[in-house]
């Protein structure tokens, strides 16, 4: 799509929600700075340049960095200082993050710059906007941040292309930034006082990964209710556990939401009337406690979402400049503790929603409720769906190990000047892996539940879930006898990834 044909979206001083970030990254409109934002950025930059001429210590303007904060730099070395800061901090390792994550980092960085408190120049901010609009997206190696002092290494790699260094995604390839700048006829930028530090400071990198994970987890929590509804019917579970009066006794609104989703999804089914239904209505916890477990995950998701939105809309940098009050204030807005704790909490919650899904899969394979062992004709000759549950168990085990919080650790850096760090980068990487594993576990539950539905004689599916199963059967056929199951799992995974987000929105399951 050409730049001219794109819609334009202005970066304003408004509060940006997770939905706003998702829309911008997915639709990739042309960006522009609102006039009020441009004015604030320019005022902040001019204030910094004036203060840089004074005979005083201003960290990151005319001093070294970290424990070198009391080492003064000469006036004619300011540009070199900022250049050296960026290139020396570009120490990331590993495979690059996705282009979408790099875009999210750029977008969140623009939200930090829009207030003018960081002292970055309008020219530098506009170049980042130009990068976005011309699809020149910095390549950021995945690993290397401790989530305090800012995400120094990843953000340095974000900044290198402004200097004609590093690599970028451009025209469908990863190329040297100098090549892209030459093709566009752009000169490399010469950074002014504070700009190198403004570019690398803050936790926009871990916030970007948090935002992407939250988009996925939002889809996962809605999808979990949908899958559970299919499993509930396949297992001939009771209906008492999701009735409204039962949940009106609880003050957990998220439990009520899950129960309401189940009532919507299961309307019209006769699963609770079948002779295979437990007569005492005491189903295993993986069924009976769906509202409590799924609801708790929703609580964690809501906490993480609120934390992340507050983070990306604030100013993550140090020092901060307040021209109207003639103030320069030094502090710790470069620390990612809030994000790190939220990511660790969400990792545990996402691991749990995968764990209860695997337990439902296990129950469906257990030969109970009139279902054959491992959901296949002639069990013994055929193993049926026995081994997909092993795969699910392996993924759930990995999730449990990855749920160990990273944020409880700290390794001091920079000669003890930075003696407590968040380790939010590790929290972010772990959550990414857990989310990916969760989709595979969900795929195996869907594969299993759809098979069980067809063995549950006399079952009348609800209209919503009948549509889901019919569509699924268009992609994955009933398992008559043993075949290569990894193919079925992959098809189920692709089916969920492509369809579930739309279903979650269509039926308002979030």
- Spatial CA neighbour of 112 closest among 99, 88, 327, 104: 104
For residue 305, being part of any structural domain is answered with yes
Q: The CATH number of the domain where 75 resides is what? A: 1.10.275.10
Read off the pLDDT band of 76 (50, 70, 90): confident
Give the pLDDT score at 269: 98
For residue 356, being part of any structural domain is answered with yes
Give the pLDDT score at 55: 78
Read off the pLDDT band of 66 (50, 70, 90): low
Q: Are residues 340 and 471 in the same domain?
A: yes
For residue 1, being part of any structural domain is answered with no
Are residues 428 and 154 in contact, defined by beta-carbon separation less than 8 angstroms?
A: no
Q: Is the dihedral of CA 141, 206, 358, 497 positive or negative?
A: negative
For residue 3, being part of any structural domain is answered with no
Read off the pLDDT band of 1 (50, 70, 90): low
- Spatial CA neighbour of 388 closest among 465, 451, 475, 456: 451
Q: Are residues 480 and 395 in the same domain?
A: yes
For the chain, the distance separating the N- and C-terminal CA atoms, rounded to the nearest angstrom, is 32
Region 159-172: what's the mean pLDDT?
97
Q: Are residues 293 and 372 in the same domain?
A: yes
Q: Show the tokens assigned to 233.
A: 């019917």
Q: Is the pLDDT of residue 6 over 70?
A: yes
47 to 51, 112, 396, 441: CA distances (angstroms): 6, 17, 53, 54
Please report, rounded to a whole number, the percentage of residues in the chain having pLDDT higher than 70.
98
Are residues 363 and 448 in contact, defined by beta-carbon separation less than 8 angstroms?
A: no
Q: Show the tokens assigned to 75.
A: 């006036």
Residue 242 falls in the annotated catalytic set: no
Q: Are residues 372 and 316 in the same domain?
A: yes
How do residues 223-244 score in pLDDT, each as one tens digit?
999 999 999 999 999 999 999 9
Three-state DSSP class for 382? strand
Read off the pLDDT band of 413 (50, 70, 90): confident
| Beta-carbon-side half-sphere exposure of residue 9 (alpha carbons within 13 Å) | 16
For residue 123, being part of any structural domain is answered with yes
Q: Are residues 56 and 186 in the same domain?
A: yes
Give the pLDDT score at 2: 62
For residue 125, being part of any structural domain is answered with yes
Q: Are residues 394 and 367 in the same domain?
A: yes
- Spatial CA neighbour of 316 closest among 37, 125, 46, 118: 118
Q: In b/e form, how buried is each residue of 36-64, taking b as 16+ CB within 10 angstroms?
A: ebbebbeebbebbbebbeeeeebbbbbeb
Indicate the range of 147-151, 176-180, 213-217, 483-487 predicted with least confidence. Answer: 147-151
Give the pLDDT score at 4: 64
Q: Are residues 174 and 226 in the same domain?
A: no
How do residues 438-450 score in pLDDT, each as one tens digit?
999 999 999 999 9
**Cα separation of 206 and 83, whole Å?**
24
Phi, psi of 135 (to 5 degrees): 55, 45
Are residues 339 and 203 in contact, defined by beta-carbon separation less than 8 angstroms?
A: yes
Indicate the range of 57-61, 318-322, 334-338, 452-456 predicted with least confidence. Answer: 57-61
Give the pLDDT score at 75: 76
Give the pLDDT score at 90: 95
Set 16, 47, 57, 59: catalytic member:
59
Q: What is the 3-state secondary structure (H, E, C) of 421-480?
A: CCCHHHHHHHHHHHHHHHHHHHHHHHHHHHHHHHHCCCCCCCHHHHHHHHHHHCCCCCCC
471 to 446, 465, 474: CA distances (angstroms): 12, 10, 5
Q: Provide DSSP, 75-95.
A: GGGHHHHHHHHHHHH---EEE
β-strands 8-11, 30-33 pairing: parallel
Q: Are residues 132 and 224 in the same domain?
A: no
Read off the pLDDT band of 294 (50, 70, 90): very high
For residue 2, being part of any structural domain is answered with no
If one counts the domains in the chain, the total is 2
- Domain enclosing residue 52, as ranges: 8-201
Report the number of secondary-structure helices (H) and strands (E) in the chain: 18, 9
Give the pLDDT score at 163: 97
Give the pLDDT score at 195: 93
Three-state DSSP class for 289? coil
Three-state DSSP class for 33? strand
How do residues 361-374 score in pLDDT, each as one tens digit?
999 999 999 999 99
For residue 171, being part of any structural domain is answered with yes
Domain boundary among 201, 231, 250: 201
Domain boundary among 166, 201, 236: 201
Q: Are residues 137 and 175 in the same domain?
A: yes
Read off the pLDDT band of 52 (50, 70, 90): confident
Domain boundary among 180, 201, 222: 201
Which residues does 281 contact at the CB level (< 8 Å), separation at least 6? 238, 240, 241
Q: Is the pLDDT of residue 148 over 90?
A: no
Beta strand residue intervals within 262-376, DSSP E:
320-322, 327-329
Q: Are residues 196 and 253 in the same domain?
A: no
Which residues does 474 contact at the CB level (< 8 Å), separation at least 6? none
Q: Are residues 216 and 195 in the same domain?
A: no
Region 60-67: what's the mean pLDDT?
72
Q: The CATH number of the domain where 480 resides is what? A: 1.20.200.10
Give the pLDDT score at 454: 97
Q: Show the tokens assigned to 350.
A: 């996402």
Q: Are residues 162 and 220 in the same domain?
A: no
């Amino acid at each position: 799509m050409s730049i001219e044909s794109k819609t334009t979206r202005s970066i304003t001083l408004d509060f940006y929600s997770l939905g706003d970030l998702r829309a911008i990254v997915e639709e990739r409109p042309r960006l522009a700075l609102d006039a009020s934002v441009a004015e604030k950025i320019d005022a902040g930059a001019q204030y910094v340049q004036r203060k840089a001429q004074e005979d005083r210590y201003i960290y990151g303007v005319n001093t070294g960095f970290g424990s070198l904060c009391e080492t003064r730099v000469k006036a004619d070395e300011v540009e070199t200082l900022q250049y050296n800061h960026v290139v020396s901090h570009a120490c990331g390792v590993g495979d690059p993050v996705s282009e979408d994550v790099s875009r999210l980092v750029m977008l969140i960085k623009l939200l930090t710059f829009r207030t003018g408190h960081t002292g970055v120049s309008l020219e530098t901010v506009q170049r980042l906007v130009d990068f976005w609009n011309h699809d020149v997206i910095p390549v950021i190696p995945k690993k290397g941040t401790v989530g305090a002092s800012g995400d120094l290494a990843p953000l340095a790699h974000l900044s290198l292309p402004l200097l004609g260094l590093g690599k970028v995604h451009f025209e469908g390839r990863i190329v040297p930034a100098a090549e892209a700048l030459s093709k566009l006829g752009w000169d490399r930028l010469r950074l002014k006082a504070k700009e190198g530090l403004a570019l690398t400071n803050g936790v926009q990198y871990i916030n970007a990964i948090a935002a992407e994970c939250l988009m996925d987890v939002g889809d996962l929590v809605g999808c979990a209710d949908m899958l559970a509804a299919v499993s509930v019917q396949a297992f001939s579970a009771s209906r008492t556990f999701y009735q409204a009066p039962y949940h009106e006794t609880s003050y957990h609104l998220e439990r009520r939401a899950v129960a309401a989703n189940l009532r919507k999804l299961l309307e019209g089914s006769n699963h609770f009337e079948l002779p295979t239904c437990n007569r005492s209505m005491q189903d295993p916890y993986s069924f009976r406690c769906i509202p409590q477990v799924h609801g708790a995950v929703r609580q964690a998701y809501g906490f993480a979402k609120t934390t992340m939105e507050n983070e990306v809309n604030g100013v993550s940098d140090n020092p901060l400049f307040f021209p109207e009050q003639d103030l320069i204030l030094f502090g710790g807005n470069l620390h990612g503790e809030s994000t790190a704790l939220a990511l660790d909490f969400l990792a545990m919650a996402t691991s749990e929603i995968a764990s209860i899904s695997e337990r439902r899969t296990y129950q469906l394979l257990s030969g109970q409720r009139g279902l054959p062992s491992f959901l296949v004709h002639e069990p013994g000759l055929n193993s049926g769906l026995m081994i997909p549950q092993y795969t699910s168990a392996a993924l759930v085990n990995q999730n449990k190990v990855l749920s160990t919080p990273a944020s409880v650790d700290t390794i001091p850096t920079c000669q003890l000047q930075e003696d407590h760090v968040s380790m939010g980068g590790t929290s972010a990487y772990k959550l990414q892996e857990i989310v990916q594993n969760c989709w595979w576990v969900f795929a195996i539950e869907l594969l299993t539940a759809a098979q069980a539905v067809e063995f549950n004689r006399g079952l009348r599916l609800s209209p919503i879930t009948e549509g889901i199963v019919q569509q699924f059967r268009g992609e994955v056929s009933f398992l008559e006898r043993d075949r290569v199951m990894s193919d079925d799992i992959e098809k189920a995974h692709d089916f969920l990834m492509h369809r579930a987000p739309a279903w979650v929105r269509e039926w308002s399951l979030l």
